[in-house]
Amino acid sequence: VRQILLLAHRVPVGGAFTLNDLAGGGGRMDEVARVVSTAFTLSNDLRRDVELTILFSAEPPPRARRLRLDGRRLKFLNPDERSTAALLKNALVRSAGVDRDVEASPGLVVGPANPAEELRAFVGVPGTLWLTEGGTPLVAADVPGGAVRAVLSDPTDPTPEESELLRSSGVQARSLGRRSLRSSQCVDALNQLADGAEGERPAEAPAGPRSGAN
Ligand SMILES: C[S@@+](CC[C@H](N)C(=O)[O-])C[C@H]1O[C@@H](n2cnc3c(N)ncnc32)[C@H](O)[C@@H]1O
């Protein structure tokens, strides 16, 4: 399974923005939507082995939202950015003022969250990677058999509090090169590396003669 956590800092958590201004009033929802699209879509199919959590931070914290997308059940995800942004916006609108998780559409669950606690829990799992320009190079050994658990940020870098939490958590900081990439490009690179590592999984041993057969 590939588990990805995206820290989203500026998207209005109540979904109060227009699809005509995703980069401005939408707080870079354009890139968040691109991350979703890149994480799940293939040419003619969806990646079913991906789980993506987006933490939408907000002040005061009770307004913050966690949106979970589960590739096994996901529906209505089209390749274009605008319709993906609409799917996410609708989920945020449905969740506004609601104090529990809601399945806004198949495979897409949204609810209130404490982003710091969520981040701490996510990076507390051994083997979790933090994608950051300053990390050590990401290599295939970091994604054994194609399994990945990684956190990255949207176009705004992690806040000082998030950075401190990440640094003190013992998470493994990994870099995809010296150039600062877009978040969606990072997810693409991660998926490609994991696809390669998955291909290298040892083939299952051919079935031998069944015991007792003759
Ligand atoms: C667009 S970048 C963040 C802003 C960027 N630091 C800047 O100077 O504009 C979005 C996120 O993608 C990830 N990222 C970008 N480039 C990366 C790289 N070369 N290696 C690993 N992660 C990277 C990091 O999580 C980063 O916070």
**Per-residue pLDDT tens over the stretch 63-120:** 999 999 999 999 999 989 999 999 999 999 999 999 999 999 999 999 999 999 999 9
181 Cβ inside 6 Å of ligand 1: yes
User: Which regions of the chain does DSSP assign to beta strands (E)?
Assistant: 2-8, 50-56, 65-70, 102-105, 108-112, 129-137, 148-153, 172-175
Most distant CA pair in the chain: distance in Å? Answer: 73
* CA distances in angstroms from 87 to 26, 92, 108, listed in the order given: 13, 9, 9
Cα(173) to ligand 1 centroid in Å equals 12
Cα(124) to ligand 1 centroid in Å equals 21
175 Cβ inside 6 Å of ligand 1: yes
Q: What is the pLDDT of residue 211?
A: 33
The list of the chain residues with pLDDT below 50 reads 203, 205-214
Q: What is the pLDDT of residue 201?
A: 56
Q: What is the pLDDT of residue 192?
A: 96
182 Cβ inside 6 Å of ligand 1: yes
Pocket test for ligand 1, best of 10, 32, 152, 179 (most atoms within 8 A of CB): 152
